[in-house]
Amino acid sequence: MKTIVIAIGGNSLIKDAQHMGVPDQYAAVVETARHITNLVERGFRVVITHGNGPQVGFILLRSEHSRGLLHEVPLDSIGADTQGAIGYQIQQAIGNEFVKRGLKKSVATVVTQTLVDKNDPAFQKPSKPIGQFYKKEEAEDRMRVEKWTMVEDAGRGWRRVVSSPKPVRIIEAEVIKKLVADGYILIAAGGGGIPVVQDENGNLSGVAAVIDKDLASAVLAKEIAADMLIISTAVERVCLNFGKPDQRALDSMTVAEARRYMAEGHFKPGSMLPKIEACIQFVTDSGHEALITCPEALPAALDGRTGTRLVP
């Protein structure tokens, strides 16, 4: 029985700007739950990871509006909050799908911490924009009072930027591995996990940072000895020259080919690039294959009929 880690993208939670409320998010999750249950029915052991970018933004905005009335919520706690809320939606949707199909399976969410290196250079160069846009004078006030790092974002206003350190280790990996071996379907490392650093005594503490969920998924997949990492996204296959007249879809690519395409600039930083980097990391570390496709194409992609495979 093969273990697969499926990293579901934002399109599995929020379809568009008109459907961002909690009921809308749940409706989107129900759709993805059906596709994932198809794989469980086929005998795969499944661990699901997910993003949390917009949801973190919503909580930051609520915090902003309640400024002076309530305490601020630190970023690591926001990560925990979103893991619980999104995990709850995914586990309920999948659990209901199991009931509908008569599958005697249980699904649970593990609130996950991700260890990062406290000396990671990313801490010196915050680069990940989070939260709302501010006017210049508001931004100057936040930088002075809150000690935030803020940048002007393409004429749209000023935004807070935080560090995005590389994930080193998943703290709860052994727990996740054991539960998967016992037959449970797991939701873990939501939003890349809650970033934590370790002191010389081994004690953990949260940090104000955001971890790339695809890179964290690659680390988790390696640590639980998964047979495949699947990045579920908005496109059925990875393309070269995406959006151009000479666009070409790829059935597979080796790690060496993927690195060459990256160097040639085929994959955009905020879009396909981190997904390709995560797949390269998993394939290099584990010797297994990775797969990129959209949720509805998952069964066909696992059969080799579509999707893009990254191979050693």
Q: Which residues are catalytic?
A: 10-11, 128, 213, 275
Q: How far is CA 118 from CA 55, 111, 204, 209, 219, in A?
A: 26, 21, 11, 11, 18
Nearest to 125 by CA among 76, 153, 158, 162: 162
Report the side by side order of strands in the sheet with 204-206: 167-170, 113-116, 194-198, 204-206
Task: Please state the three-class secondary structure of 48-87 as a single string.
Answer: EEECCHHHHHHHHHHHHHCECCECCCCHHHHHHHHHHHHH
> What DSSP character marks residue 312?
-
* C-alpha span between 307 and 169 (Å, rounded): 28
Neighbours of 92 (CB within 10 A): 15
Write down the residue that tokens 């060459």 correspond to: 260
Write down the residue that tokens 């990871």 correspond to: 49
Q: How far is CA 212 from CA 16, 45, 282, 298, in A?
A: 21, 24, 14, 22
